[in-house]
Chain A
Amino acid sequence: MTLDELKENESAQIVQILDEQLEESMLNMGFIVGEDVKLDRIAPLKDPILITSGLNYISIRKEDAKKILIEKNNAN
C-alpha cells in the first residue's frame, strides 16, 4: 500500500520511494527507506498530511505520499 492510504495515528514501514527526486527530498528531511513512518494528521481539507519518522516531523502532499510504498506493521 502507499503512505496516503494510512489513517490518522497509524504507523508503517517505508518500503520504497518511487520517485528519485522525492526520495532525495525525503532523505534530506530524515525519512529513510526501511524506517517507520507515522501519519499524525490529515489537514482539514484532506490534504496535505503531517507525518513523523523518528524525531522528524514534516508535511507532505497526498500526491507525493502516493509515491511512497509502505508496509503496515503487525504491531498496529
Chain B
Amino acid sequence: MFNALTGLTQKTGNFPGVTVDKKSGYTNINNQQIEVVDLPGTYSLNPEAEDERVAANTIKNINDDELIIVVADVTNLKRNLFLCTQIIDLGKPVVLVLNMMDLLQKSNQRINLDKISALLQIPVVPVNARIKKGINELKEIVSKYQFKKASFSSNKLTPSERYEKITTVISACLQGGEANRWINRTKKIDNILTHKIYGYLIFLSILFVIFQAIFSWSAYPMELIEEGFAMLGGLVESWMPKGVLSDLIVNGILAGLSGIVVFVPQIALLFAFITILEDTGYMSRVSFLMDRLLRPFGLNGKSIIPLISSIACAVPAIMSTRSINNLKERLITIMVAPLISCSARIPVYTLLIALVIPAEQQVGIFNLQGIVMMGLYLIGFLAALFAALIFKWILKSKGKTNFIMEMPIYRLPKWSNIGFSVYNKVKVFLFEAGKIIIAISIVLWGLSSYGPGDTFEKIEEKYASPAFENEDENEINTLIASEKLEASYAAYLGKTIEPLIKPIGFDWKIGISLVTSFAAREVFVGTMATLYSVGDEDNTTSIREKMLQAKNPETGDRLYNRATTFSLLIFYAFAMQCMATLAVVYRETKSYKWPIIQVVYMGALAYVSSWIVYTIFS
C-alpha cells in the first residue's frame, strides 16, 4: 500500500513484524507534496509488542492537519474495523482503505461501500494495492478531505460491545458469497504444511533446495563475472601506461571489486527465496512448527523469523525481533541471531571451501561443496541454540510469554515485491559494502605496495646485483614482489597480531584480513584479493588459484591446507565481525552493554572453536 502510494520499494510481507518502524515517503497529489508515513501493523490501540507500541503512540499523537489512512484487509473486516473504530472514537481524522478487493470478488461477496461509509461516517476507498488499483481514487479523496469529527460510539464501549456493533455494521454492508472461502483453502494447505511428519520434511526440503540453489545454480553466472573482471584487468593494463595508477586500478580497485561483484548471483537468489517464504505466509507456519522446539532454549516460535532472516542479514533480522513481546525472549533472539550464517559469509565460505574441496566431488546426487556449506549453516544454528540456552540461564525473566500469532491466509508471492527486495539488497550489498571494500582495498594496496624507509630500494638493489644475472627474469620478479610484500607496512601490521592467531593456524596475511573484515565479513575476500594481487604482474589467475599456490614459508606445504582452512571457516562462522549489526543491536537494546557482550562472547567462541578444529586437523 505504502509502496503503491509513494512509488518506493519498501519491503512488505504476509505477516506482522515485516514493517517494525515508521518509514516515510512522499506522494504527489494535485502537484502538492504530501508526506506519507508507514506505521507497523497493529491489531488495536492497546499495544502488546514494541512494533505495535510505535504505531499506537503515533496514532494517538496525530494532529488535525494530518490524516490517518487505515488499511483494512476486506476478507476479515470484523477484526480490522476494531482498530478503525477505535481510532474514530479517539476523534482522529480517518480514511478507511479496503484492501484485497480482488479476493472479495472471487468469493462472490458484495460490499455496499456507500453504506459502510455512512455508518462509520468516514470516507471509504476500495483498492487492490497489489495491482495499484484504486490508488488514484484514494489520492483524490485525500485531496478533498475535510476533517469532521465522527463518532462510532457515543459512550465508552467494552471490546465485546464494540465487536457486536461492528458485526451489525458488517451484516448490513457485506452480503452473499462464501466468506470462508479463503480461510478454508488456507486450512487445507495447512493440513499438509503443518502435518505431523510432512510439515518438518517440507521445511527441511525447502532449506535444502535453497542451499543447493545458492551453490550450484549460481556457479555459471559467477564464473562469467570472474572471467569478465580478469579480462577487464588485462584490458586496463594493456591500455594504460605502466605505472602507479594502472597498478592501483588493477591490483587495488578492480581486484577488490571483483571479489564482491562475483557474489551478487548468490545473494540475489538467497533474498529471492526468503522473500517468497515471507510473501506467501509460510513463515508463520514455520513459527508454529518450531515454537515447542525453541521454547526450551528460552526462545519463542516467533524467534524463528529473525533466525531465518539472519540467513540473509542479521540487521533486518534483529529489527524484526520487535514483534516478540516478551523482553527476555527478544533479547536472547537478538544476542544469538548473528551466529546464524548470513549472506556476507557466503563469499568467505565459497572461497575457502573451494580451496580444500574439489568442485566435482559428489555425494550421491549432491555436490559436496554444497553439503559442507549447509554444514556450516547448521553449525551456526546449533551454536545459536547453545548460546541461547546459556543466556536463558543468565538472564532474568521479565513479564509473561505467549505465542498468540495470526496465521495469515496463503497468497501467491507477489513477483514485483520479490524483484524489489532482491534489487534493494543487491544494491545495498554492492554500494554500501562496496564503498567500504573499495576504500579498504585502496588503503591496503598502499600499505602493501610501500614499506618503511628504503627497504624496497634495498630489495631491488639486491636482485639487481650480478649474483642474479643468470636467473630467469620472471622468477626474479616474483621473488622481488614477495620480499617487498613481506617488508611492507601491511606486513608489519599483520605480523604484530601474528603471535595471537598463530595457535589457530593463521598467518599475517590472514591477520590483516581479520582486521579489515571487522567492518564487514565480505571484506575478507577483497583483502585477500588485494594482498595476493600485489606483485602478480600478469593478473590472469583468480584469487582462488593464487591462494591455492600459497605456501607455508616454514614447511613449504600448502598454506591453505585442511587445518588452516577449516579453522578459518569456523572463525568466520562464529566471530562478530559486522559493524552494522553491532550498531543495530545498540539501537534496539538502547545500551552499550549488549553489543559489547556480543563481541566478546562470539569472539571467544570463535577463537576456542578454531583452535580445536586446527588442532584436530593438523
A24 to B476, CA, bound (A): 79
Report chain B residues within 8 Å CB of A59.
Answer: 284, 287-288, 291, 301, 403-405, 407
Contact B76 A55 (CB under 8 A): yes
Report chain B residues within 8 Å CB of A26.
Answer: 404
B168 within 8 A of A: no
Given contacts A24-B46, A28-B82, A55-B78, contact A46 B292 (CB under 8 A): yes
Contact A43 B406 (CB under 8 A): no
Chain A binding surface, main DSSP class = mixed
A7 within 8 A of B: no
Given contacts A27-B159, A55-B76, contact A50 B402 (CB under 8 A): no
Closest to A40 in B: B187
Report chain A residues within 8 Å CB of B160.
Answer: 27, 32-34
Report chain B residues within 8 Å CB of A21.
Answer: 400
A71 within 8 A of B: no
Report chain B residues within 8 Å CB of A52.
Answer: 183, 187
Contact A28 B43 (CB under 8 A): yes
A22 to B195, CA, bound (A): 28
Report chain B residues within 8 Å CB of A18.
Answer: none
Report chain A residues within 8 Å CB of B288.
Answer: 43, 48, 50, 59
Considering residues A21, A44, A58, which has the most beta carbons from chain B within 10 angstroms of its beta carbon?
Answer: A44
A36 within 8 A of B: no
Report chain A residues within 8 Å CB of B187.
Answer: 40, 52, 57
Given contacts A43-B292, A56-B79, A59-B291, contact A22 B402 (CB under 8 A): yes
A73 to B160, CA, bound (A): 21
Report chain B residues within 8 Å CB of A24.
Answer: 46, 159
User: How does the 8 Å CB contact mask read for B515-530 relative to A, with 1 for contact and 0 for none?
Assistant: 0000000000000000
Contact B76 A56 (CB under 8 A): yes
A60 to B292, CA, bound (A): 11
Contact A58 B180 (CB under 8 A): no
Contact with B291, one of A33, A34, A54, A61 (Cβ below 8 angstroms): A61
Instruction: Enumerate B64-105 residues with CB–CB distance to A below 8 Å.
Output: 75-76, 78-79, 82
B483 within 8 A of A: no
A47 within 8 A of B: yes
The number of residues on chain B lying at the interface, defined by a beta carbon within 8 Å of a beta carbon of chain A, is 41
Chain B binding surface, main DSSP class = helix
Contact with A30, one of B79, B291, B292 (Cβ below 8 angstroms): B79
Instruction: Enumerate A10-53 residues with CB–CB distance to B below 8 Å.
Output: 21-22, 24-30, 32-34, 40-41, 43-48, 50, 52
Report chain A residues within 8 Å CB of B191.
Answer: 41
Report chain B residues within 8 Å CB of A55.
Answer: 75-76, 78-79, 179-180, 183
Contact B404 A30 (CB under 8 A): no
A57 to B194, CA, bound (A): 14
B44 within 8 A of A: yes
A45 to B292, CA, bound (A): 7
Instruction: Enumerate B269-306 residues with CB–CB distance to A below 8 Å.
Output: 284, 287-289, 291-293, 301
Contact B196 A44 (CB under 8 A): yes
Contact with A44, one of B180, B190, B289 (Cβ below 8 angstroms): B289
Given contacts A32-B160, A40-B187, A48-B292, contact A58 B76 (CB under 8 A): no
Given contacts A27-B159, A43-B291, contact A57 B404 (CB under 8 A): no
B27 within 8 A of A: no
B586 within 8 A of A: no
Report chain A residues within 8 Å CB of B200.
Answer: 44
B163 within 8 A of A: yes
Q: Whole-angstrom distance from the CB of B171 to the nearest CB of chain A?
A: 12
Contact B403 A61 (CB under 8 A): yes
B114 within 8 A of A: no
A22 to B43, CA, bound (A): 14
Report chain B residues within 8 Å CB of A29.
Answer: 43, 79, 404, 406
Report chain A residues within 8 Å CB of B289.
Answer: 43-44
Report chain B residues within 8 Å CB of A57.
Answer: 183, 186-187, 406-407, 409
Q: Whole-angstrom distance from the CB of B460 to the nearest CB of chain A?
A: 70
Q: Whole-angstrom distance from the CB of B243 to the nearest CB of chain A?
A: 66
B413 within 8 A of A: no
Considering residues B82, B191, B406, B409, which has the most beta carbons from chain A within 10 angstroms of its beta carbon?
Answer: B406
B140 within 8 A of A: no
Q: Whole-angstrom distance from the CB of A56 to the nearest CB of chain B?
A: 6
User: How does the 8 Å CB contact mask read for B193-220 relative to A, with 1 for contact and 0 for none?
Assistant: 0111101100000000000000000000
B48 within 8 A of A: yes
Report chain A residues within 8 Å CB of B179.
Answer: 55
Q: Whole-angstrom distance from the CB of B292 to the nearest CB of chain A?
A: 4
**11 pairs from A and B in contact (CB 8 Å cutoff):** A28-B46, A28-B82, A30-B163, A41-B190, A43-B288, A44-B197, A44-B289, A48-B288, A52-B183, A57-B409, A61-B291
What 8 A-B pairs are tightest by C-beta distance, nearest first? A30-B79, A45-B292, A28-B43, A44-B196, A27-B159, A28-B44, A55-B76, A57-B407
- Given A24-B46, A48-B403, 20 more A-B residue pairs with CB atoms under 8 Å apart are A24-B159, A27-B163, A28-B44, A30-B76, A30-B79, A30-B82, A32-B159, A32-B160, A43-B289, A43-B292, A44-B194, A44-B199, A52-B183, A54-B78, A56-B406, A57-B186, A59-B287, A59-B403, A59-B404, A61-B403
